[in-house]
Amino acid sequence: MFAPSTFSIVAADPLTGEIGVAVQSKFLSVGAVVPFVSVNGAIATQAFANTAYGPQALAMLARGDAPDAILAALLRDDAGRDDRQVGIVARDGRSATFTGARCIDAAAGVCGDAFAAQGNCLTGTDVVDALVATFCSERGHLADRLIAALRAAQARGGDKRGQQSAALVIDKPGGGYAGFNDRYVDLRVDDHPAPIEELARLLELHKLYFFAPDDADVLAIDASLGAELTSELVRVGALTAPRASFDDEAKAALVSFMHVENLENRVRTDGRIDRQTLAHLRAAPASATA
């Protein structure tokens, strides 16, 4: 049996349709064992994890079953249930959590509106309290709230054996690449001395490449900014010579640069640019021929 003694939080944002799992453990590749996610709901299965719970729970969530009923059904015929720890959240925010009597101390689980937090082999049950308090107080993208919760739990002590791996999986209707599927975020750190911080770094890259910018982060390209953009495009080798204005050739060079840098999801045709793309261009290395 797998034994990812760990802490995790399963959570949903019913307003955006996002739902996911964040997890950390002193266990190799915890993301391959604990999280199971769909747009209908999510489950974390841990301690002596029964990974069969994942597909079974997702199927029951898809037909609208309540998390507490799903949990009861999963545990009913499982002789190893006292060694299991499970958290389930449905897309509408209903939740359930379970901690078996034989889970390694300290072990605890707390669930509420749109979240289920649990952990075992912890430095103390206040690790789970930190997961919950931080998740409930944070604002912004569900991904950011889940990472903040993991950081808070680790700061409180985390897994008493230490750190090794972490994962963040979130589904959102049509949230996958180019809208072809629902996998909005799927990041894993399989073996790292500071897996939560590495996961946070990867999330920032993921947001740059795949998240749409917030309206507050979009700038109009006026004469001053246009002059800077042409200068930067020349510096990085995307444009052959400076321009008196941000003309069609400069606009085409910016689009070309963005495609080369995998920023195609941020390409705009409305005479504006987002702050993240601008920062990326400013930080790009100069061309050897510029």
Look at residue 2 in the predicted model and tell me its pLDDT: 52
Of residues 113, 108, 83, the one with CA closest to residue 10:
113
Beta bridge partners of 86: 45, 98
Q: Report the sign of the C-alpha dihedral through residues 245, 251, 252, 254, in that order.
A: positive
Does the pLDDT of residue 100 top 60, yes or no?
yes
Does the pLDDT of residue 4 top 90, yes or no?
no
Kindly report, as residue ranges, where domains of CATH 3.60.20.10 are found in the chain.
Answer: 6-210
Mean pLDDT of the chain: 96
Look at residue 60 in the predicted model and tell me its pLDDT: 98
Look at residue 290 in the predicted model and tell me its pLDDT: 54
C-alpha–C-alpha distance, residues 84 and 70, integer Å: 14
Residue tagged 């689009």 (tokens): 255
Domain at 6-210, CATH homologous superfamily:
Aminohydrolase, N-terminal nucleophile (Ntn) domain (3.60.20.10)
For 206-229, give one letter per residue: b (16+ CB within 10 A) or e: bbbbbbebeeeebeebeeeebbeb
C-alpha–C-alpha distance, residues 158 and 156, integer Å: 6
Does the pLDDT of residue 1 top 70, yes or no?
no
In the three-class reduction of DSSP (H, G, I as helix; E, B as strand; rest coil), residue 64 is classed as: coil
C-alpha–C-alpha distance, residues 86 and 97, integer Å: 6
> Pairing between strand 18-25 and 95-99?
unpaired
Please, which residues have CB within 8 angstroms of residue 18's CB and are 6 or more apart in sequence? 12, 141, 142, 143, 170, 171, 172, 175, 184
Does the pLDDT of residue 221 top 60, yes or no?
yes
Q: Report the sign of the C-alpha dihedral through residues 6, 148, 33, 116, in that order.
A: positive
> Pairing between strand 115-119 and 6-13?
antiparallel
Which is higher by pLDDT, 244 or 205?
A: 205
Of residues 4, 43, 73, 27, the one with CA closest to residue 169:
43
Residue 159 sits at the vertex; the CA angle it makes with 23 and 115, to the nearest 5 degrees, is: 40
Does the pLDDT of residue 148 top 80, yes or no?
yes
Please, which residues have CB within 8 angstroms of residue 119's CB and are 6 or more apart in sequence? 6, 7, 8, 85, 106, 107, 108, 109, 125, 127, 128, 131, 153, 159
What is the per-residue pLDDT across 249-289, written as a single tens digit (0 to 9) for each? Answer: 999 999 999 999 999 999 999 999 999 999 999 999 998 76
What is the per-residue pLDDT across 152-180, written as a single tens digit (0 to 9) for each? Answer: 999 999 999 999 999 999 999 999 998 99
Mean pLDDT of 230-242: 95
